[in-house]
Structure 1
Amino acid sequence: MTKYGRVAVIGGTSLLHSKLFDHFKEKVVETEHGNVIVYEDETREYSTLFVQRHHADATKGAEVYNPPHVMNQKSYIAALKSLDVSTILGVCSVGSLTKEYDTGTLVVPDDFFNQMSTTYFDDARGHLVPAFSEKVRQTIITALGETGTEKTVTSGTYVQTVGPRFETKAEVRFLSSLGDVIGMTAASEAVLALELSMDYAVICMIDNYANGLVGGTLTEEEFRANVKLNEKTVETAVQAILNKFYET
């Protein structure tokens, strides 16, 4: 076993239509928080796992899309723990909170802002100091450097909002003072993974400027078009990172 142990990828919008995990075998994992759809790659010596966070609810079925505010994050993080996962790579589609980082840029944040209360614990065990795993972050950065990805930012703050709607222009003006990219999932995943003693870090693809940042109003059509445009870059990055995890 490598120093990363068993590895899982949690994907979102940027991997919704990816072919990267087509050969993975679907399985349902039961947890006390709900049943989860997990995909397993049985071709690797150390068996990578994949969860599509928007389609992980086994009660609803893999065809049902779950927006961020109704996703059962406790269930899919717990499912990965029950499968002996040690390292989690989060993959997220995000908006840019700064004009400096345009669409198509990959960001590996080193901090996050999130005032949502997401925890497994209602006692003193919840008093943890949250952070992305620096060990995993550095591996991600090394892998991206070796692929020659030009538009890569190796630090920054991820700001999480509740969703499912995008932010107003006024909200963006305020939130841009707090961080560099904005999303709806990764910070909560990081906290839950830490509570269950798993290393978690995230790679973010900027698929849009936050609403009003560069003038005009963000449209869903613009967002979806950029997700499609950047899909191949995300796939290449994820594959390179997985290869780096399993180097001996």
Structure 2
Amino acid sequence: MKNVISEASSFILNNTTKRPIIGLILGSGLGILADEIKNAISIPYEEIPHFPVSTVAGHKGQLVIGELEGKEVIAMQGRFHYYEGYSIKEVTFPVRVMKELGVQTLIVTNAAGGINANFKPGDLMVITDHINNMGNNPLIGKNDENLGPRFPDMSESYHPSLINHAETCANKLNLTIQKGVYVGNTGPSYETPAEVRMLRTLGGDAVGMSTVPEVIVANHAEIKVLGISCISNMAAGILDQPLTHTEVIETTENVREDFLRYVKKIIETLLQ
């Protein structure tokens, strides 16, 4: 694994002089943030050794490296999902590469279905914790101590200082945000109304098909994580309407301005 990570990171370093310490994973319909990166170079995933290729609509499928609000960043404009048929280790491979490149803080975003009845489509939710409902874990198998400990602590998976920072930024922008627990399911089918009721009973506020594996690996690698969900729709059974991926993309389009100014403010004032 270490050799494979080194090959991918070396290829990236040979294509840029930037040395980003902030990483971004941009979910469905949220890749627009990468378009804001200045002095950027873009590397399609298929050109990077050992990288999977994103196959889902709303995921452009490239790394973008450059400057955002005065900080050097590396952004995944589109992510990989377990339901695409990749192994859980392939899904999380880019996080390993980011660590090798020197990333210390990871901002992971997603589009999610609202479970909390107080939420509405278009809300932005800062993730305070997660529930791994995927039936898998990217750390299963032989552990490489060079990458992280055998039994990593997950009690602060989403770093408290980053959560506080995100709240402060929202207040400065007069932006109303939600906070809550994200549930990671495998997908690709949406949840049934009965499953949504179960997840609410378990303490979930939003549900999606990503993020959890990447956050587990980031914690294993001692990368601080901030998670932000765009509530793109209400989960099944809450509203009397069918769920579609088109709705997800449309909602993220509608919230794009708030999302952009929010994440840019977080990055601008980060590490100060």
For this structure pair, what is the TM-score category when the shorter chain's length is used for normalisation? 0.7 to 0.9
2:67 and 2:73 in contact (8 A); partners too: yes
- 1:136 alignment counterpart: 162
- What letter corresponds to residue 232 of structure 1 in structure 2? E
Going from structure 1 to structure 2, the CA distance change for 1:241 and 1:43 (only over 3 Å counts) comes to: closer
Separation (CA, whole Å) in 2 of partners of 1:86 and 1:9: 11
2:28 counterpart of 1:13: yes
Query: Equivalences for 1:233-244 in 2 at 5 Å?
Result: 233-244=258-269
Question: Residue 16 of structure 1: CA displacement?
Answer: 3.2
Please, which runs of 5 or more residues in structure 2 have no aligned partner? 1-19, 54-61, 144-148
- 1:59 alignment counterpart: none
Out of 183, 186, 191, the position equivalent to 1:159 is 183
2:81 and 2:91 in contact (8 A); partners too: no
1:190 and 1:201 in contact (8 A); partners too: no
- What letter corresponds to residue 138 of structure 2 in structure 1? T
Q: Tell me, what secondary structure is at the counterpart of 2:29?
A: helix
- 1:219 alignment counterpart: 244
Going from structure 1 to structure 2, the CA distance change for 1:191 and 1:67 (only over 3 Å counts) comes to: closer
- 1:38 alignment counterpart: 63
Separation (CA, whole Å) in 2 of partners of 1:45 and 1:235: 15
Out of 64, 69, 74, the position equivalent to 2:83 is 69
Separation (CA, whole Å) in 1 of partners of 2:257 and 2:25: 17
Separation (CA, whole Å) in 1 of partners of 2:169 and 2:190: 31
Out of 98, 104, 111, the position equivalent to 1:93 is 111
Question: Residue 166 of structure 1: CA displacement?
Answer: 1.4
2:96 counterpart of 1:103: no
TM-score of the aligned structures, taking structure 1 as reference length:
0.81
Please, which runs of 5 or more residues in structure 1 have no aligned partner? 55-65
TM-score of the aligned structures, taking structure 2 as reference length:
0.75
- 1:25 alignment counterpart: 41
1:11 and 1:50 in contact (8 A); partners too: yes
- What letter corresponds to residue 42 of structure 2 in structure 1? E
Separation (CA, whole Å) in 2 of partners of 1:149 and 1:170: 33
- What letter corresponds to residue 226 of structure 1 in structure 2? T
Out of 82, 99, 104, the position equivalent to 2:100 is 82
1:120-160 deviation line (CA, Å, top 9, x unaligned): 4524734222221112222222112211112x12x321111
Separation (CA, whole Å) in 2 of partners of 1:106 and 1:44: 21
Separation (CA, whole Å) in 2 of partners of 1:127 and 1:141: 30
- 1:118 alignment counterpart: 137
Separation (CA, whole Å) in 2 of partners of 1:101 and 1:188: 25
Identity of aligned residues (%): 21
Separation (CA, whole Å) in 1 of partners of 2:40 and 2:231: 27
